[in-house]
Amino acid sequence: MDVEPLSPETVVVLVNGWGSIPRAEGARAEAPPASAAPLPDWATADATALERIADLLFPVFATAGTAERAELITGLLRRTKVLPTVSADGDSVAATWSVKDPRDALTAAAALTLRRQLAEHDPARVGTCAADGCADVYIDVSARAHRRFCSVTCQNRTRVAAFRRRTK
C-alpha cells in the first residue's frame, strides 16, 4: 500500500487529540471520536488505533535530543517496514513510499512527516508546550522559529501568570 507523509498539522492534531499523555495533562479525559480525525481517505483507524499511534509518536516530540529523536523516528520507520518505491504512470515516474500492512500506513505516514521535518528543518521546531499543565505538541512552521507553546492560549496564560508573579 502506498503512503504519503501527512501534513505537520495533521500529525499534531493526531497526537494532541488521541495521545494519552497530552489528554491527561490537559485534563481531557476522553479522546474524540475516530471520525473527527483529519485523516486522508486511505487512512482507516478506530479510536484505539489512533491512541496507540499517537502514543508511539509522542516521545519524538517530548525528547529534546536530536540524536534520540532520530533514533525514535528510525525505529518507527523500521517498525512499519516502510520502503521507498518508484511507480510509473505512463511515461512519468514518481517516488513513493509503501508498507505491506495497511494497519501500519498511518504510523508510517506520520513517521515520514517527522522524518522530513527533522531532516529539512531545525529539530528544535518540534516539541511539547512549555506551559504548565499542558503536554500538547507542536511543529513550528513559522518563519521566525521561536515557538514554545502549542497555542496562543497557552502562551498568553503563561505570560499572564509570569506578569502576576512579578507584580506581587
Dist. CA 62–CA 56, nearest whole Å:
11
pLDDT at 105: 94
Tell me the mean pLDDT in the region 20-48.
78
DSSP 8-class letter at 40 = -
Chain mean pLDDT for the chain? 88
> How far, in Å, CA of 73 to CA of 110, rounded?
10
Identity at 52, one-letter amino acid code:
R
70: cell is: 532520530
- Among candidates 139, 163, 161, which has minimal Cα distance to 151? 139
Q: Output the pLDDT for position 23.
A: 83
Q: Is the pLDDT of residue 27 over 80?
A: no
Q: Is the pLDDT of residue 100 over 90?
A: yes
**In this model, does residue 129 exceed pLDDT 70?**
yes
The pLDDT value given to residue 21: 87
The pTM assigned to this predicted structure is 0.85
**pLDDT at residue 60, as a whole number:** 96
- As a whole number, mean pLDDT of residues 120-131 equals 88
**How high is the pLDDT of residue 110?**
96
Give yes or no for residue 75 having a pLDDT over 90.
Answer: yes
Check if the beta carbon of residue 167 is closer than 8 Å to that of residue 144: no
> For the residues 91-110, what does the mean pLDDT come to?
93
Does position 35 have pLDDT exceeding 80, yes or no?
Answer: no
Kindly state the average pLDDT of the residues 98-125: 93
**Per-residue exposure over 58-70, b if at least 16 CB sit within 10 Å of its own CB, e if not:** bebbbbeeeeebb
Give the whole-number percent of the chain exceeding pLDDT 90: 48
pLDDT for 168: 78
Backbone angles phi, psi at 102, to 5 degrees: -55, -25
Phi-psi region at 20: left, alpha or beta (left = phi > 0; alpha = psi -120 to 50) = alpha
Assess whether pLDDT exceeds 80 at residue 83.
yes
Q: Residues with Cβ < 8 Å from 157, sequence gap 6 or more? A: 131
